[in-house]
Amino acid sequence: MAIAQIPTTVSHDARSNDTGAIVADVSDPNAAHAAKVADAELAVARLVEMSTDLRGCAILAEDGTPLAASGELEDWGGAAGALLAAADAAASEPAGHVHVGTEDGEVFAVRHEGFALVAASERFALASLMFFDIRAVLRELARGPAAAPGPEVEAEAA
């Protein structure tokens, strides 16, 4: 019984013609995560520069993964995640933003479009100003790197 033979050059041709385009369309999760981390680090640096009363901050992804922090990422990730979890448990639903004042300092947390930013500040920091700065940074982060003003724009504004 004869077996139908298909010339192998056909499949090779297909690979050279189509596979490249298919591979190009498949997103690389590692690359996407690295880009997100880089954007978050930039956002943390911007907030540290903007807010004079800020002691430190961290940005978390929607699933609670710490993306960037002004100090040790592990310490910040655990502490920030615990704060958001405690706030969610107290409110019985995901909190939009949180403000806690203690004798040691104040803590702010804001959720925005899949990101959460937790910040620690000096005592008696202006809450409205802190929330404004945090929201501005998170908005830029959510919009992507193209939304952040470049050095030329900042130089012109100055």
Partner 1 sequence: MPPKPHRAILDRVTGYADEASAFLRRRRLTRRPFARIYLPGGRGIALCAETEEGRELFLAASRVLDAAR
Tell me how far, at minimum, the Cβ of 95 lies from partner 1, in Å.
Answer: 5
The letter for the amino acid at 45 is A
Tokens representing 154? 């900042």
Per CB under 8 A, the list member of 86, 126, 147, 153 interacting with partner 1 is: 86
Nearest to 119 by CA among 49, 55, 39: 55
Tell me how far, at minimum, the Cβ of 155 lies from partner 1, in Å.
Answer: 31
- Please, what's the b/e burial string for 49-79 (b: 16 or more CB within 10 A of its CB; e: otherwise)? eebebbbbbbbbeeeeebbbbbeeeeebbeb
Per CB under 8 A, the list member of 67, 118, 130, 138 interacting with partner 1 is: 118
Tell me how far, at minimum, the Cβ of 6 lies from partner 1, in Å.
Answer: 59
Q: Smaller CB distance to partner 1: residue 62 or 154?
A: 62
The letter for the amino acid at 117 is L
| Per CB under 8 A, 62 contacts partner 1 | no
The Cα 127–Cα 135 span in angstroms is: 12
Summarize as ranges the residues that interact with partner 1 (CB under 8 A).
55-56, 58, 69-72, 75-76, 78-80, 82-83, 85-87, 89-91, 93-105, 107, 118, 120, 124
